[in-house]
Amino acid sequence: MKILVTGAAGFIGSELALRLLKEGHDVTGVDCFTAYYDVNLKRNRVKRLLEYKNFRMHEVHVEDEDAMTAAFNDSKPEIVVHLAAQAGVRYSLDHPREYISSNIVGSFNVIELARLHGIKHLVVASTSSAYGANQKFPFEETDAAPHPLTIYAATKLSSELIAHSHSHLYGTPTTLLRFFSVYGPWGRPDMAFFLFTDRIFKGQPIDVYNHGDLMRDFTYIDDLVESIRRLMDTPPVAGMSVTRNDSLSPVAPYRLVNIGHATPVRLMDYIEAIETAIGKTAVKNMLDMQPGDVKQTYADVSLLEALTGYVPTTDVKDGIQAFVEWYRDYYKPD
């Protein structure tokens, strides 16, 4: 199959692209290698992809309509997986404009080009942050989510809505994926699991927000990739609900799907798993809650299971162990 993956130099995009290349698909990657975090890490992720002759890379901004048109013409994709985004909840407090251009203008370009190319399935990354101030746990895709707490979440909700209107008007089968705190080898240096590991190895204090009283539904990267891969083969069909709580739109071949482990973990237990894997205790800088943060995330994954017969299973201790082993091998901190 011909597949276009945006954000192919990113954590999730590179892992998904690798999986697709190993399966023998023709993969076109799109990424502009933003300097939001270590660009070398992004280049090294892509190096692994360039070893496959069924891979090609377009180094472009998703908001550049002409460059994206060229990438689509080159790829002629049957499936598009749109993962490129200015990610990160906290950075959005100080850099809101980057989110508007990458996540709204850029996503619109991808959604528009996907419909012009009449693709079979458009898969777009959203986030658990879309649930915003919701207090009903676990989060279900059919819950109304009108109260985003950050510009990041607001831009992701916006692209969900743009994708829905296009799916309704033009019939593009579209699945929006709400990811829950993804971690693992080749992960993102701005995320807590990476920052904690890095600082513990270096003997530097770690910042623990809300005095550790936070819970997160942490999803291991391999489980996430397996879920995305299965969902790619399951495009929504208008009027064909699979469960009573299916988020399928009543007016479009469009649905939202959570991908999480469905097992919230206390932040202090997560830190302890990292300490154990490294063999060192962290110096903890206990701080108040950050603006825009939520106390808990928790995914209902019954829709994912009904659609794919699969749910994430990797225990946090095993996932952290695998990440710390990768970190040791990649950065040689000892």
Ligand X SMILES: NC(=O)c1ccc[n+]([C@@H]2O[C@H](COP(=O)([O-])OP(=O)(O)OC[C@H]3O[C@@H](n4cnc5c(N)ncnc54)[C@H](O)[C@@H]3O)[C@@H](O)[C@H]2O)c1
Q: Which is nearer to ligand X, 87 or 273 (CB)?
A: 87
Q: Which is nearer to ligand X, 133 or 237 (CB)?
A: 133
Q: Which residue's Cβ lies closest to ligand X?
A: 10
Catalytic residue among 36, 152, 183, 327: 152
Distances (CA, A) of 62 to 72, 146, 151: 11, 26, 19
Q: Which is nearer to ligand X, 39 or 286 (CB)?
A: 39
- In the complex, least distance from residue 76 CB atom to ligand X, rounded to whole angstroms: 20
- In the complex, least distance from residue 147 CB atom to ligand X, rounded to whole angstroms: 18
- How many alpha carbons fall within 13 Å on the CB side of residue 209? 13
Q: Which is nearer to ligand X, 108 or 179 (CB)?
A: 179
Which residues contact ligand X (rule: CB under 6 A)?
7, 9-13, 31-34, 42, 61-63, 83-87, 102, 106, 125, 127, 179, 181-182, 188
Q: Which is nearer to ligand X, 10 or 312 (CB)?
A: 10
**Catalytic residue status for 131:** no
- How many alpha carbons fall within 13 Å on the CB side of residue 187? 30
Question: CA 279 to CA 272: how far, in whole Å?
Answer: 10
- In the complex, least distance from residue 87 CB atom to ligand X, rounded to whole angstroms: 4
- In the complex, least distance from residue 34 CB atom to ligand X, rounded to whole angstroms: 4
- In the complex, least distance from residue 89 CB atom to ligand X, rounded to whole angstroms: 9
Active site (catalytic) residues: 152
